[in-house]
Amino acid sequence: MRMFDSEQDAAFREEVRAFFADKLPVRLSDKVRRYMRLSKQDMEDWHAILHARGWLGVSWPVEHGGTGWNATQKFIFEEECCLAHAPRVVPFGITMLAPVLMNFGSPEQQAYYLPRILNGDDWWCQGYSEPNAGSDLASLKCRAVREGDHYVVNGQKTWTTLGQHATHIFCLVRTSTGGKPQEGISFLLIDMATPGIEVRPICLLEGTHEVNEVFFTEVKVPVANLVGEENKGWTYAKYLLTHERTNIAGVGFAEAALHHVKMLAGEIHQSGKPMRDDPLFAARMARVEIALRSLRTTTLRVIASVETGSAPGAESSMLKVLGTQIRQEITDLTKRVLGPQAVPFASEALDEGYNEYFPGNDSARWAAQTYFNNRKLSIYGGSNEVQRTLIARQLLAD
């Protein structure tokens, strides 16, 4: 394992930084830095910029149009993305569905969908969670019954992130009720324009429309849209979740956020001295920085293992738990630095052109929104409580 960049990695990091300096629009980096709401067009613009450079499928093999980068290069790229305040690439097609298609999809599915994911023709969302099947995903009820050359889908999905923009959804559906719950699940690709699909918004605590409910009523899906084998979808779902949990750790996001907190702690004074000089606050900030360095080291260890051909198991759950705890702690520290300024919040404050009504500190506009939004980090992708159980089963079993 390399704790520091090799000469080759250092050169690659400089290449990435030069690209961001040249190609990342200031209007986008400014919106990300200020935690302003990104529009659909903003996300599509950044997608197109990366695709034009050939740097969109960072974990894809070259034969499918990817970069062919090794795991260390991918880590460096994602870290520099966050430090440059680049928009996050919408992950559902690029980093979640694509690996499943590459490993379990048919040649026809790969040839059709993978290029469309890269060039932005298709915008995917994820259909996993249901009202009574979140962390206990195997209890899902959304049913798909085969009728000739189609499946007929009925049921509901919830917490569908950015589903209001999506053209397609990949869904876990129940195709059998016999045996263990995990044994009757299949993985379907569904066009969101199919008759019988309804998307309803869910407004979050901070007032944003990020997630949705999706309802399926007699929705016909071609059998050709089944990924892999019928009733084997649980295997594909677990493979996808391993990738998702590792990404949720968000080392780069945490590094950028911690840098911002340290800057604020030097600028904002309480009781006549900067917050960084308050011993209790300084101790909390030191603890989270130590934890973040530990997370980064663990991530590099996992990367070193991946480079030798191993697949992350319990490690992905560890990264997810620690990473989400760190990111939540940093948002809490941000609110504590800002003090009373962080209390007010208006959803429209995240929109471009909003007249700032918090005098003296731009960070106050988004502190409360970020704090509330990050409460979900320890829940989605499999709650942290469930991840601890998985870690215990995999590492502590006799």
DSSP 82-118: HHTTPPPPPHIIIIIIHHHHHHHS-HHHHHHHHHHHH
From the list 32, 18, 27, the residue with the least C-alpha distance to 82 is 32
**218 or 397, which is more confident:** 218
- In whole angstroms, give the CA distance from residue 119 to residue 265: 42
Within 13 Å of residue 37, how many CA atoms lie on the same side as its CB?
18
Q: Note the pTM of the prediction, 2 decimals.
A: 0.84
- In whole angstroms, give the CA distance from residue 181 to residue 183: 5
- In whole angstroms, give the CA distance from residue 22 to residue 154: 48
DSSP 296-365: HHHHHHHHHHHHTT---SHHHHHHHHHHHHHHHHHHHHHHHHHGGGGS---GGGGSTT----STT-TTHH
Q: Do domains 124-232 and 249-395 have the same CATH topology?
A: no
pLDDT band at 34 (very low <50, low <70, confident <90, very high): confident
Within 13 Å of residue 14, how many CA atoms lie on the same side as its CB?
7
CB 259 within 8 Å of CB 294: no
Return the SS3 of 77.
helix
How many distinct helices (H) and strands (E) make up the chain?
13, 10
- In whole angstroms, give the CA distance from residue 119 to residue 142: 31
CB 377 within 8 Å of CB 326: no
pLDDT tens readout for residues 244-281: 656 667 888 889 889 989 988 888 777 778 888 999 99
pLDDT band at 37 (very low <50, low <70, confident <90, very high): confident
* Domain over 124-232 is classified CATH 3.30.70.2080: no
What pLDDT score does 359 carry?
45
The residue assigned the tokens 């409580």 is 385
- In whole angstroms, give the CA distance from residue 111 to residue 107: 6
CA angle (360, 361, 366) in 5-degree steps: 145
Domain residue ranges of the chain, discontinuous segments joined by +: 7-89, 124-232, 249-395
| 357 pLDDT above the threshold of 50 | no
Backbone angles phi, psi at 371, to 5 degrees: -60, -50
Q: Which fold has domain 249-395?
A: Butyryl-CoA Dehydrogenase, subunit A; domain 3 (1.20.140)
DSSP 211-279: EEEEEEEEEEEEGGGEESSTT-HHHHHHHHHHHHHHHHT-HHHHHHHHHHHHHHHHH-EETTEEGGG-H
pLDDT tens readout for residues 100-148: 999 999 999 999 999 999 999 999 999 999 998 877 888 999 999 999 9
| 218 pLDDT above the threshold of 70 | yes
Q: Write b or e for each residue in 273-294: b if 16 or more Cβ atoms lie within 10 A of its Cβ, otherwise e.
A: eebbebeebeeebeebbebbee
The residue assigned the tokens 């520099």 is 80
The residue assigned the tokens 């974990």 is 59
pLDDT band at 302 (very low <50, low <70, confident <90, very high): confident
The residue assigned the tokens 């996050």 is 88
